Amino acid sequence: MKKFYVLILAVVISMSAFAQRPVGKAHKLANSTEITSLKLDTTLIPTAMFDTACSNHLTYYAGSGMGYVTGTNSYGDLEKAERYNGTGTVSEVLAYVMSTTPTSTQNTTIKLYSVNPTTTAPNAVLGTSTPVAISAFSTTGFTSYTFAAPIAVTTKFFASFVVPAADTAFVISTNSSICNSIDSASWELWGPAPSTDWHSIATAWSDGTGAPLTIDLAIFPVLTTSASINDDYFIDGIKLGQNQPNPASINTLVQYEIQNSASVMLEIYDVTGRLVAKYDEGTQSAGRHNIMIDSDKLNQGTYYYSLKADSHRITKKMVVTQ
């Protein structure tokens, strides 16, 4: 018998049959322009997720007296997770998180999980980020969560936002009515703690019309793979090498390989999510190619370079020194 718990007048009600949770109205974010540019260009992108249509309609779901679907709510959800594909190490996760208590010192974290091969839900904890206080959330773009040591991930993994026990925080998502997830990639952990009671958001929530809430969460792991594409493997038809040299000063070379002919664009973003450089390579044939980045035109600091081949993207981090 499945159970789900709702706190109403401090009474826990056990239900013998599972029912989808209805959601409130979708809210379009005022700063969607900034979020659109960042969302497309800061992570390894799973197939058919977070394309332009998705990223132009970032939102959050909330209801009166209910709280937030992707964060603090009256159901007492503990975590909100998004599944990704890739093998390598993760030292940083970028998340679009917001709060109604922006001055709060309450800490938040991101956890990485392996994938349960049977249920496809989050399985074992691989690592937990250094805490970030709500008061440190970015107000213009993503918030960075870092790990004390790189976390190894293999093939498929989850990045999960741990909902704070006090105060209100939530993750931005795609809009279910405009852009649907290709599968059950977003999951949530039900309380009370401690718990391993994971549920797909698509099966747990309805969009108000009775249809499943098929959303993806704006939680983006930055995946580090081999510096050489010889040792790498294709992700959505793309291999992207680490820039060489890194750190860079005058120029730095990025090598990539695509399995099929595609329109290729390399974009470079600073840590605030601002687009600082763009290299339009036009239509490229299948195979290996190089792009030389003029790093001497960039200020000293950390950047993300994102390669787009048609609708797919991979992003890596680089450092510029002067």
Q: Does residue 16 contact residue 22 with C-beta atoms inside 8 Å? A: no
Strand partners, 292: 253
Q: Could you tell me the fold of the domain covering 226-320? A: Immunoglobulin-like (2.60.40)
What value does the mean pLDDT take over residues 243-261?
90
- The SS3 assignment for 88 reads strand
CATH 2.60.40.3080 range(s) for the chain read 226-320
The pLDDT of residue 176: 79
Among 216, 221, 246, which residue's Cα sits nearest to residue 153?
Answer: 221
Task: Count other C-beta atoms under 10 Å from residue 307's C-beta.
Answer: 25
Whole-number Å distance between alpha carbons of 4 and 14? 6
Among 30, 265, 299, 36, which residue's Cα sits nearest to residue 142?
Answer: 36
pLDDT, tens only, 32-57: 333 333 333 333 333 334 544 565 56
Structure letter (DSSP) for residue 76 = -
Among 248, 183, 184, 217, which residue's Cα sits nearest to residue 71?
Answer: 217
Q: Please give the mean pLDDT across all residues of the chain.
A: 78
Indicate the helix (H) or strand (E) that contains 37.
helix 32-40
pLDDT, tens only, 3-20: 222 222 122 222 223 467
Question: What is the per-residue DSSP string for 170-226?
Answer: EE-B--TTT---SSS-EEEEESSSS--EEEEHHHHEE-SSSSB----B-EEEEEE--
Which range of 104-113, 138-147, 221-230, 253-262 scores highest in mean pLDDT? It is 104-113
The pLDDT of residue 4: 25
Whole-number Å distance between alpha carbons of 267 and 280? 8
Strand partners, 293: 252
What value does the mean pLDDT take over residues 18-26?
62
Locus of tokens 């159901």: 75
Among 35, 61, 36, which residue's Cα sits nearest to residue 51?
Answer: 36
* pLDDT of 131 strictly over 50: yes
The pLDDT of residue 43: 36
The pLDDT of residue 187: 94
To 5 degrees, how large is the angle CA 62–CA 27–CA 129?
65
Lowest mean pLDDT among 50-54, 92-96, 186-190, 271-275: 50-54
Q: Does residue 201 contact residue 187 with C-beta atoms inside 8 Å? A: yes
* pLDDT of 186 strictly over 70: yes
The pLDDT of residue 180: 61
* pTM of structure: 0.70
Q: Does residue 42 contact residue 315 with C-beta atoms inside 8 Å? A: yes
pLDDT, tens only, 253-286: 999 999 999 999 998 888 777 788 889 999 999 9
The pLDDT of residue 238: 83
Lowest mean pLDDT among 28-42, 118-132, 169-183, 188-202: 28-42
The pLDDT of residue 158: 93
Q: Does residue 177 contact residue 183 with C-beta atoms inside 8 Å? A: no
